[in-house]
């Protein structure tokens, strides 16, 4: 496995970027070679070590260095952690990805509470980043194509229903959506050809479900849309519950992790993303 290179960039390289470097190393294991730098390095704040020791995260080899020292190096990902640093991304224009996370400077407040808060926020942000970028296969479709697909109200309701039910038959969808079978089948075929759905035959029944290989960023978008629009398919859900003699598939539902949960963060640390 080729180790990707990631750089956290901030103004002083004394607090936010140092915490991000240590936390990413701890959570990502051998997935990334992690570094940090500052536009105007100020030295590592002692409270960084206090926080990392509390979380039992290795703080060895943390150094405050200038971003200019990495000017001629290639990074797969550069993540800026403050607005000032985001304006300096021209130093790394050949990077594969430039990302901006805006975090308040914890040094502006006395004591260590702001440092602990920043560390917790970074853990959640990094956990989500690793979840959505930890795959080795290329995405089936890109974000533009996905949102075009979701822009159709019928296709969106199909995806939301399958998000809830895991797998649904053509017959189920036709009845609860109250549209013709050919129309439902056309949309299902488009979603299948795009790689968003798989079909599964059991006798005369064909069920549609999300493939287990679906990129994590797509499953996260679909889950977010469903959870953020909880009432959109109420009537369809009621009609589904009222179906008599409904035949459910024999497919087993895979266990899914919540990327922002404490359980998932512990999972990342323990597994070190070696899959």
Q: What is the structure's pLDDT at 253?
A: 59
Please report, for the domain that includes residue 71, its CATH number. Answer: 3.40.50.2300
Q: What is the structure's pLDDT at 270?
A: 46
Q: What is the structure's pLDDT at 273?
A: 41
Read off the pLDDT band of 13 (50, 70, 90).
Answer: very high
Mean pLDDT of 138-150: 81
Note whether residue 252 is domain-resident: no
pLDDT above 50: residue 174: yes
Express as a percent the part of the chain with pLDDT over 90: 56
pLDDT above 80: residue 136: no
With tokens 């995405």, the residue in question is: 139
Residue-by-residue DSSP string for 185-211: HHHHHHHHHTTS-EEEEETTEEEEE--
Note whether residue 161 is domain-resident: yes
Q: What is the structure's pLDDT at 213?
A: 84
Is pTM beyond 0.85? Reply is no
pLDDT above 90: residue 235: yes
Q: Would you call 7 exposed, middle or buried from its count of C-beta atoms within 10 A (0-12, 13-18, 19+)?
A: buried
Catalytic residue positions, numbered:
10, 82, 89
Q: What is the structure's pLDDT at 127?
A: 86
Structure tokens at 68: 């200019």
pLDDT above 90: residue 128: no
Q: How far apart are CA 238 and CA 37, in angstroms?
A: 55
- 169 and 84 in one domain? no
pLDDT above 60: residue 131: yes
Q: What is the structure's pLDDT at 261?
A: 41
Structure tokens at 103: 């975090």
- 45 and 152 in one domain? no
Please report, for the domain that includes residue 236, its CATH number. Answer: 1.10.10.10
Note whether residue 191 is domain-resident: yes
Q: How far apart are CA 35 and CA 47, in angstroms?
A: 19
- 236 and 166 in one domain? yes
Q: How far apart are CA 217 and CA 196, in angstroms?
A: 12
pLDDT above 50: residue 227: yes
Query: At a CB cut-off of 8 Å and minimum separation 6, what does 270 contact?
Result: none
Q: How far apart are CA 151 and CA 95, in angstroms?
A: 32
**Phi, psi (deg, nearest 5) at residue 113:** -55, -45
- H helix or E strand, kind and range, residue 183: helix 181-193
Q: What is the structure's pLDDT at 87?
A: 67
């Amino acid at each position: 496995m080729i180790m990707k290179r990631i750089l956290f960039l901030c103004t002083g390289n004394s607090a936010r970027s140092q915490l991000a470097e240590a936390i990413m190393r701890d959570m990502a294991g051998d997935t990334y070679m992690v570094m940090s730098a500052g536009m105007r390095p100020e030295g590592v704040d002692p409270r960084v070590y206090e926080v990392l020791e509390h979380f039992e995260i290795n703080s060895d080899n943390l150094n405050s260095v200038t971003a200019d020292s990495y000017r001629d190096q290639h990074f797969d990902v550069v993540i800026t952690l403050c607005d000032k640093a985001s304006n300096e991304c021209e130093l790394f224009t050949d990077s594969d990805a430039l990302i901006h996370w805006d975090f308040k400077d914890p040094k502006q407040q006395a004591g260590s509470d702001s440092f602990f808060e920043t560390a917790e926020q970074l853990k959640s942000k990094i956990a989500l980043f690793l979840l959505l970028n930890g795959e080795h296969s290329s995405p089936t479709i890109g974000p533009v194509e996905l949102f075009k697909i979701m822009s159709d109200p019928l296709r969106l309701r199909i995806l939301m229903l399958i998000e809830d039910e895991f797998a649904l038959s053509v017959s189920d969808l036709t009845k609860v959506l109250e549209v013709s079978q050919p129309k439902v089948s056309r949309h299902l075929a488009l979603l299948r050809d795009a790689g968003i759905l798989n079909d599964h035959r059991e006798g005369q029944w064909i069920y549609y479900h999300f493939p287990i290989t679906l990129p994590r960023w797509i499953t996260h978008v679909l889950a977010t849309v469903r959870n953020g629009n909880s009432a959109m398919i109420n009537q369809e859900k009621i009609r589904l519950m009222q179906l008599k003699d409904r035949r459910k598939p024999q497919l087993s539902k895979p266990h899914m992790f919540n990327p922002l949960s404490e359980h998932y963060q512990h999972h990342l640390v323990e597994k070190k993303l070696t899959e």
